[in-house]
Chains A and B, each alone.
Chain A
């Protein structure tokens, strides 16, 4: 760190930087920038003769490879054709995906009976067709070959029949005691049908106990609302109506069950101009919300209460005299309070204390914020941590005769002081129902395979209570059963589960027609709960600062693998985490100043001690992270997992205690050791200026432009001209516009693209060589807050080829500010193939494997590609991806280094299963082939064929790319640029529109709309 500071001294660099390595211009960064294929070996020195011999031999062999008779294929017809399902066409069904206990409405694409892709349900208000990366990657969980396949008892394969025989006899024996000693542990139960089953069970066995536990839970939200209103309610925020939002240590754009709707609603208020909303963020760990904020301060998690109290006092909600934490001035609070009083709302993160929640609700009530209070969607709301602690106590007291755990992984995820795993083996009968083998199943006697949500019936409410129906898309792949089915069968109820679910809704959906209509819609209309009237009072609330001194650790769910439930999902492990761009690992995040203090750098080990537990892990230096705070992402370091994972990551779960499950004071020490981490933050760096355009709203409104004032305009000179062709025959000309002002960096697009286009994962080792295959990446840039004017290109910018990376220079003061967490600003920029009209990749291909289509698409022809990689080398946007190995499932390629990933599935059975996941409309690429974004050409072709058959032109908005469909803020617009009325043409006419590296005369078809921030006029410019 001191090296960085030293190098920064008196130096002027780019105003936008990807990582501290870039800022300090380390050799590492230079290598990533200069070389398209870094870390490669040079060609061994050979003489001319050998080269010719080798070339001749390989050409002869290449020719011979084509000389073989292909085996005769069989085609197997149905005996009876299913109705309404012409072969070769996809069908779509509505269902619900459970996440954290709540339902998320999805539409499933099904090809010949196998589900291949999930998207949001467009008719459902909680999704409106949009989704996030958790929805996109959930399909891979279903096809995970590591899912539990058999019923087993004490490690030996058994049958469902013998389990039900045993359990029925056990329940029979329990009758006299009323089920004393029987404990059931489930996740948060919101499903009315499942709740009905559990109630039925508890009625027959009144002494049996039922516990609910979720790692990421709403305990504080519940006790916070109880503190403020006297009862626990579910607040739902109407972000579309808020003119200012204060987020207190919460990320409503990524970590809320209602996140997709929230992100969409909030994005709708961000149109630059009069009335653009303002986002204020106070946070203890960098989040997407903080990155998006107009004003952001980074403080310790315990200090958030002080800020909340200060705002409340300013607004007259309560009397409090608190010290403001560093970085927060009274001027800041004044401006914030002024904004809030003009129609704002306050949102609090789930992990913040109940007091902060209570204060926020009181503020919201006082200022008349657009918030509705619904009854809790949970059927039997309990404090999750207390409920688990109660079970742990019974376990340690030896009072548990039978323990049935349904889902979750408490042995891994319970707070360390409960020592959950220690007492579990002593339970006389333990039953685990779950989808995969894990730390908990290992300690249980009976292990039962749980059916995936795509294989079962159910009913799950969204946060507002709307019942979203779950219908099976496929027979259970591994003979699994849902908890609903298992409970019913244990109680000798042998009805099919569809009937059990239908019975719950008999009164609303009396006949087959209404039931099928509800299944078609995906939800039952009119089941949304009625908002409650509540009155807030903060009487008796203690807001005296309880902040202990020392280093705080914040425990947060991992941005991709969540609480560990996506740990065996290769897509999620390899999805670069939004801010760190880390893959496959969850290092300790610390601020640059804290790193300097500890004397550690990227990848150096630290030892974190809390609660009597010590964990050693490498660090990641995160700009914008508050000082003296570390972020620990939960979900990594699993020991009992499938083949994908093999123990990657670090387990911070045990550092949590029941008293401090969310943030706690910890000891952090530097220790010897280093773990290589695979971060993609420097990969595919672009060299050029004016990559990001950003300005304040006032700045933009002045001249309706974000162009740098001294930008050199380049003439659009070209000899390449397709114009006449378009005009005469009306070829559509496809293009895309991405609004940086709406992009929150959530990764939904990356995940959606992976699912749609059969993109493989490559493993940690290959990622660190820069070989990740994602067709779309989300670049994350940092900027120092007051590094000169945002719209200044910098002095003496001559030819862009002579002065790379010169998009403005930073002052020596700003160089110091790099280490100040409050002055770090973040911008996201999704990058995929730009489909340049004069694509630099095309002329360099020796075999014409990449050529232009008449619709303006830069086509990549896999069968022609011989793998010279010249195209990738000549691409200024770094969007081409090369298959160094056969990365698809079941590759026999020996890839160097310790590795993880989908490739670890090598046996025939696993490969067959994973092949079912592929989108049949997209080629599965093999080794030695270049690939890149196609603008989802399979969707374009499909729409063209349908339009031709219906004798019409393709309508605007008919073709939706996978990334565009998923994007929760609808930042991506796609369509026909030749149509003057299309949405994409209108977006291109926006004053914020600019192309990347247009000075190279590439004429990209994808352009960007600049980022606009809306700082408070009374505070310094953003």
Chain B
């Protein structure tokens, strides 16, 4: 009896492990050359995401800020902080930021598999907020992966975009893109948030209730989004 169940138990254990944060690295902060705090810069100082990730609206990748971006402020403030030593060294020597052991660059936190061609700009443009994929970035002291980045997780939204798109078609003053960045303004300014916005702020998916669900016509008209097409393999893989 027990022997008969063994393959099933093994299978269950295996799939549980592969979905756990042990494998996906979700929620695991990584060591970095500088203990950069998104909480301090975004929540406390109110710096816009695009100050450091400027290509997020125009290109597939959001980009990692160059040393120069850090130095635009840190040549004036915290100029003697020992924590910023790697930044200053990089700016002086012209070499990329390094770990104390000499390894170049930052540890990559969020990564889609090689076979996935993810495009930031179009997601922002459709009105998907940063936190929906990256978790509560404005609360992170050391950056960690907010979501598992597994295909099943991507498909939750690609199958039911009407449930998860943050931007509201009723708000015709702002394009979906503007609504995304307005959410961060509201969070930083401490403006009142709706229940969905609070969920997104906490790193949830901000799922709409059944009566708030968008219709296919709205998706087509307001977001220029063809729902069925989002499931096509070649939308993300090619």
Judge if A853 is at the interface, Cβ distance under 8 Å: yes
Contact status of A945 and B119, CB under 8 A, knowing A74-B103, A77-B67, A855-B229? yes
Quick one: which of A35-86 are within 8 Å of B by CB? Answer: 66-67, 69, 72-81, 86
Judge if B26 is at the interface, Cβ distance under 8 Å: no
Fill in one digit per residue for A875-897: 1 if any B CB lies within 8 Å of its CB, else 0: 00000000000000000000000
Judge if A934 is at the interface, Cβ distance under 8 Å: yes
**A79 touches which one: B23, B95, B229, B233 (CB < 8 A)?**
B95
**Do B232 and A859 touch across chains, with their CB atoms under 8 A apart?**
yes
Contact status of A72 and B30, CB under 8 A, knowing A77-B106, A923-B238? yes
Chain A residues lying within 8 Å of B55, measured Cβ to Cβ, are 86-89
Q: Tell me how far the C-beta of A233 lies from the nearest C-beta in chain B, rounded to whole angstroms.
A: 51
**Do B30 and A77 touch across chains, with their CB atoms under 8 A apart?**
no
Chain B CB within 10 Å, residue with most, of A77, A854, A862: A77
**Do B233 and A80 touch across chains, with their CB atoms under 8 A apart?**
no
Chain A residues lying within 8 Å of B105, measured Cβ to Cβ, are 74-77
**Do B232 and A854 touch across chains, with their CB atoms under 8 A apart?**
yes
Q: Tell me how far the C-beta of A839 lies from the nearest C-beta in chain B, rounded to whole angstroms.
A: 14
Chain A residues lying within 8 Å of B95, measured Cβ to Cβ, are 79
Quick one: which of A931-962 are within 8 Å of B by CB? Answer: 934, 937-938, 941, 945, 948-949, 951
**Do B63 and A87 touch across chains, with their CB atoms under 8 A apart?**
yes
Chain B residues lying within 8 Å of A861, measured Cβ to Cβ, are 233, 237
Number of A-B contacts defined by CB within 8 Å: 129
Judge if A714 is at the interface, Cβ distance under 8 Å: no
Chain B residues lying within 8 Å of A74, measured Cβ to Cβ, are 103-108
Chain A residues lying within 8 Å of B104, measured Cβ to Cβ, are 74, 76
Chain A residues lying within 8 Å of B229, measured Cβ to Cβ, are 731, 853-855
**Do B233 and A851 touch across chains, with their CB atoms under 8 A apart?**
yes
Judge if A802 is at the interface, Cβ distance under 8 Å: no
Chain A residues lying within 8 Å of B108, measured Cβ to Cβ, are 72-75
Judge if A417 is at the interface, Cβ distance under 8 Å: no
Tell me, in angstroms, the Cα distance from A87 to B30 when the chains sit together.
24
Tell me, in angstroms, the Cα distance from A76 to B55 when the chains sit together.
16
Quick one: which of B39-75 are within 8 Å of A by CB? Answer: 54-55, 58-61, 63-69
The interface stretch among B109-117, B187-195, B205-213 is B109-117
Tell me, in angstroms, the Cα distance from A69 to B105 when the chains sit together.
21
**Do A855 and B237 touch across chains, with their CB atoms under 8 A apart?**
no
Contact status of A731 and B226, CB under 8 A, knowing A76-B105, A854-B232? yes
Chain A binding surface, main DSSP class: loop
| Residues of chain B at interface, number, CB under 8 A | 50
**Do B125 and A86 touch across chains, with their CB atoms under 8 A apart?**
no
**A88 touches which one: B61, B69, B235 (CB < 8 A)?**
B61
**Do A77 and B97 touch across chains, with their CB atoms under 8 A apart?**
yes
**Do B68 and A862 touch across chains, with their CB atoms under 8 A apart?**
no
**Do A725 and B228 touch across chains, with their CB atoms under 8 A apart?**
yes
**Do A79 and B67 touch across chains, with their CB atoms under 8 A apart?**
yes
The number of chain A residues touching the other chain, given as a range, is: 35 or more
**A89 touches which one: B58, B122, B216 (CB < 8 A)?**
B58
Q: Tell me how far the C-beta of B60 lies from the nearest C-beta in chain A, rounded to whole angstroms.
A: 4
Q: Tell me how far the C-beta of A845 lies from the nearest C-beta in chain B, rounded to whole angstroms.
A: 12
Q: Tell me how far the C-beta of A72 lies from the nearest C-beta in chain B, rounded to whole angstroms.
A: 6
Judge if B156 is at the interface, Cβ distance under 8 Å: no
Tell me, in angstroms, the Cα distance from A731 to B66 when the chains sit together.
40
Chain A residues lying within 8 Å of B96, measured Cβ to Cβ, are 76-79
Q: Which residue of B lies closest to A81 (CB)?
A: B66
Fill in one digit per residue for A835-859: 1 if any B CB lies within 8 Å of its CB, else 0: 0000000000000000101110101
Q: Tell me how far the C-beta of A974 lies from the nearest C-beta in chain B, rounded to whole angstroms.
A: 16
Tell me, in angstroms, the Cα distance from A606 to B65 when the chains sit together.
66
Judge if A699 is at the interface, Cβ distance under 8 Å: no
Judge if A166 is at the interface, Cβ distance under 8 Å: no
Q: Which residue of B lies closest to A77 (CB)?
A: B64
Tell me, in angstroms, the Cα distance from A421 to B92 when the chains sit together.
54
Judge if A123 is at the interface, Cβ distance under 8 Å: no
Tell me, in angstroms, the Cα distance from A951 to B122 when the chains sit together.
11
Chain A residues lying within 8 Å of B82, measured Cβ to Cβ, are none
**Do B122 and A945 touch across chains, with their CB atoms under 8 A apart?**
yes
Judge if A729 is at the interface, Cβ distance under 8 Å: yes
Chain A residues lying within 8 Å of B237, measured Cβ to Cβ, are 861-863, 923
Q: Tell me how far the C-beta of B62 lies from the nearest C-beta in chain A, rounded to whole angstroms.
A: 9
**Do A941 and B234 touch across chains, with their CB atoms under 8 A apart?**
yes
Quick one: which of B194-238 are within 8 Å of A by CB? Answer: 216, 220, 224, 226, 228-229, 232-235, 237-238
Judge if A535 is at the interface, Cβ distance under 8 Å: no
**Do B60 and A941 touch across chains, with their CB atoms under 8 A apart?**
no
Judge if A921 is at the interface, Cβ distance under 8 Å: yes
Fill in one digit per residue for B122-136: 1 if any A CB lies within 8 Å of its CB, else 0: 100110000000000
**Do A81 and B224 touch across chains, with their CB atoms under 8 A apart?**
no
Judge if B94 is at the interface, Cβ distance under 8 Å: yes
Chain A residues lying within 8 Å of B125, measured Cβ to Cβ, are 948-949
Q: Can you list 30 residue pairs at the A/B interface with Cβ under 8 Å?
A: A67-B14, A67-B18, A72-B107, A73-B111, A74-B103, A75-B105, A76-B106, A77-B63, A79-B66, A79-B95, A86-B58, A87-B55, A88-B55, A88-B59, A89-B59, A853-B232, A855-B229, A857-B234, A859-B234, A861-B237, A862-B115, A862-B237, A863-B237, A934-B238, A937-B234, A937-B238, A938-B117, A945-B122, A948-B126, A948-B224
A74-B108, A75-B64 given; 4 more Cβ-contact pairs under 8 Å: A74-B107, A855-B232, A859-B234, A948-B125
